[in-house]
Structures are given as structure tokens and as C-alpha cells.
Structure 1
Amino acid sequence: MSDDEWQIRALITRWADAVHRGDLDTVLDQHAEDLVMYNVPAPYEGLRGLTAYRAIWPPFFAWQAAGARFDIDTLDVTAGHDVAYAHALLRCGTPEELAECPGLRLRLTFGLRKERGRWLIAHEHHSFPHD
């Protein structure tokens, strides 16, 4: 594994842990100002920028504080010199939801770019399969 792949893996693992803990500052820390995100809930055209990204997390943290999980199951990273992408599957749901559908995984895709030697998440996409 290259050093860049290791750095990105650590960045995403740190991000997921921060999401699980409800630590908004750390969730935002490694994101580009001009971030584009496509999320499971609306708006369907996605959101742009850190201000909009910041606003989506408090309701999710409140839901998660009731006992939901947000745990990385698999994470794959491909890194070039200054751009990279990663994709992951996460267990994301309440214990009841995960017991009812144990194979259910949240799908995540990240687009990253390196700025001044630092990897930043510039694109984030969350989705669940639709049956």
C-alpha cells in the first residue's frame, strides 16, 4: 500500500469514527470548501459547499445517538499523485434494521484531491440499494 493510500484510508477511517461519535468538527476537517455531496435524503440535486454539508449532520447525529451504527465494513482506495477515489460499505442502521436485513450496507464513494500536500474530500456520495 502506498503512503497516499495509507493517508486516505486513515482520513476516511477518522471521518467515519467522527460521524459515529457525533464530532462535527472532525467530520468537516478533511473536506474541501467546494465539496459536492450526493446523499441518501433530499435534496436530490445534491449539496455544494461546507456550509450545506455542515447542516446535514445534526439530525443524523441525533438519530445515531439513539443507538444506530455507522461502521466501516470494507474500504478500498486508489490514489494517484494528486487525485484519488475510495469506496466503502458501511453498516448503517439501528440494531432492529440491521437484524431485519443483516446484509444491508450503506455505499460510500469519495473523490479526493491533494492540495498543498494534504488530501481533501472534494466529492462524497452516499446511497443505499433500492429494492
Structure 2
Amino acid sequence: MTQALVRDEAAIRETFAEHEEGMRLRDPARIVARYAPEVVTATLAPPLRHTGADARDVEALAGWMAGFEGPITLEYRDLEVVVSGDVAFAHGLARLAAVPVGYPEGFSMWMRTTVGLRRREGRWLVTHSHDSVPFHMDGSFLAATDLLP
């Protein structure tokens, strides 16, 4: 791997670390600062997708964060990063853990994550982010939030 690819991969992994830190610090501005203006996100919560300004809405993300007490933990694992020029793709697993307001106990769940990035003015920005949880295909259609890597 060339030095440039090593630097690019390190910079991309840093965007994931920024997301983890933004969640830990409950800093929505830090999270959306990673997003390109035309970003498309598919998060676990409805609707099916957010685009552009809606995906970069700091107030909406702060409102979502307000639904939890204490820390919100996001942990990325098994990330594979592929870079080609000014475009990159990453996929892996992520664990989200938090305590919803009014609940005595929290939750911890693993999900799949896929992220597309583009280099803009020397900086890697997220242009597409998709998180998903599989569901049981037994007719119950319940989310399989109990799966572990």
C-alpha cells in the first residue's frame, strides 16, 4: 500500500473516530461536520432516509440525543476501508449503547454500517451513510437487536 493510501485510510478512520467522540460528548455539530452538503443518511430511526440539510440538522440530532440519559456510546468494529482517488467506501459493524429517558436500564445493540466518502478540498466527507439491523424472517419481522459479532 502506498504512503498516500495509508494517509487516506488513516484520515477516513479518523472520521469514524470523530463520530464516536461526537456521540460520547453529545456534540451533534461535531457529527454533522463530517457530512458533505449533499449527504444521504439511512439511520435506524425513521424516515427511510435524510438528505442534504435534513441529514445535517444539528437541532434534530440534538433532539434525538435528548431522548437518552447519560452517555451515548458508539463503537465501530471490523471496518474495511477502500480508497480510489477521491472516493472511498467503508463498511463494518457498529455498537450503539444508551439508556432511553424514563427507562431503568439501557440497551446495547450491534448493527451493520456502510459509508461512502469523497475527498473535498483535501478533507474526507461522508456522502452516504447507511446503518441497518437485520430482522427475523420468521413472520414476526422483529429486529434482531440481540445479535453479537
Fold equivalence (TM over 0.5): yes
Which 4+ runs in 1 deviate beyond 6 A? none
Distance apart, 1:73 and its partner CA: 2.8
Structure whose CA Rg is larger: 2
- In structure 1, what is the equivalent of residue 110 of structure 2? 105
- In structure 2, what is the equivalent of residue 47 of structure 1? 50
- For residues 20-73 of structure 1, the C-alpha deviation after alignment (integer angstroms, 9 at most, x for no partner) is 2211111111210011111212112x1111344325412331234345532223
SS in 2 for 1:105: strand
Q: 1:60 to 1:75 in 2, by over 3 A?
A: farther
Q: Which has the higher contact order (CA 8 A, sep 6+)?
A: 1
In the alignment, the residues of structure 2 paired with residue 56 and residue 109 of structure 1 have an alpha-carbon distance, to the nearest angstrom, of: 22
Most deviating of 19-28 and 46-55: 46-55
CA contact (8 A) 2:39 2:55 kept: no
- In structure 1, what is the equivalent of residue 39 of structure 2? 35
SS in 1 for 2:67: helix
TM-score w.r.t. the length of structure 1 is: 0.81
- In structure 1, what is the equivalent of residue 86 of structure 2? 82
The reply on whether 1:129 has 2:134 as its aligned counterpart is: yes
Identical aligned residues as a percent = 27
In the alignment, the residues of structure 2 paired with residue 20 and residue 64 of structure 1 have an alpha-carbon distance, to the nearest angstrom, of: 12
In the alignment, the residues of structure 2 paired with residue 24 and residue 68 of structure 1 have an alpha-carbon distance, to the nearest angstrom, of: 12
CA contact (8 A) 2:35 2:125 kept: yes
SS in 1 for 2:44: coil
CA contact (8 A) 2:38 2:51 kept: yes
CA RMSD of aligned residues (A): 2.0
Residue of 69, 74, 84 corresponding to 1:70: 74
TM-score w.r.t. the length of structure 2 is: 0.73
- In structure 2, what is the equivalent of residue 8 of structure 1? 12
CA contact (8 A) 2:78 2:92 kept: yes
CA contact (8 A) 1:31 1:50 kept: no
